[in-house]
Amino acid sequence: MREAPIALYIDADACPVKEEAYKVAFRHSLKVFVVANTPIAVPRHPLVERVTVPAGPDAADDFIAGRAVRGDVVVTTDVPLAARCVAAGADVIAPNGRPFTRDSIGMALATRNLMEDLRSAGAVTGGPKPFAARDRSAFLSALDLAIVRLKRAGFATGTPGQDA
């Protein structure tokens, strides 16, 4: 088992489930890194750290992917970032509760790339479905399940060397 406790990384730009993630993280005593390239309001809480990265196309992604490892959880809709974090062993969850896994990430990347190519060719693809209450509920369940699974696998919460 690694010495560092489970960390939760939120790709915060346009993330609709930050409040839900905080609630679950606080219940499990997880450190939360809220990463964005603009200052975002976060709760004043010792478990929450706002990380403002320099402006740039992949600065937030690079920060998260450079730190997330097996035993951490990442919340993102960004498929290339999800692929990098899955490759590093982290659990990755979209705000709608859909997990990105080693089994699903290849298809997610292929679909993303196809849609990007279609949009570049001028096709109207319609965009993502509107975020719904059931997505919020699915996210809460998926995040809690991922954390419980990690804790059962021996990953600690709270401060290093001390499980909460």
User: What pLDDT digit, counting tens, does each position of 126-159 carry?
Assistant: 666 778 899 999 999 999 999 999 999 999 877 5
What are the C-alpha distances in Å from 31 to residues 4, 47, 74, 148? 10, 5, 12, 15
The pair phi, psi for residue 100, each rounded to 5°, is -100, 125
Written as six digits, the tokens of 38 are: 């603009």
51 neighbors 70 (Cβ within 8 angstroms): no
The pLDDT value recorded for residue 161 is 41
24 neighbors 47 (Cβ within 8 angstroms): no
Written as six digits, the tokens of 82 are: 């999800």
- Residues 9-56: tens digit of each pLDDT: 999 988 999 999 999 999 999 999 999 999 999 999 999 999 999 988
- Residues 79-120: tens digit of each pLDDT: 999 999 999 999 999 999 999 988 877 666 766 566 576 667
The one-character DSSP state at 118 is H
The pLDDT value recorded for residue 125 is 63
The pLDDT value recorded for residue 164 is 41
Written as six digits, the tokens of 155 are: 């990953």
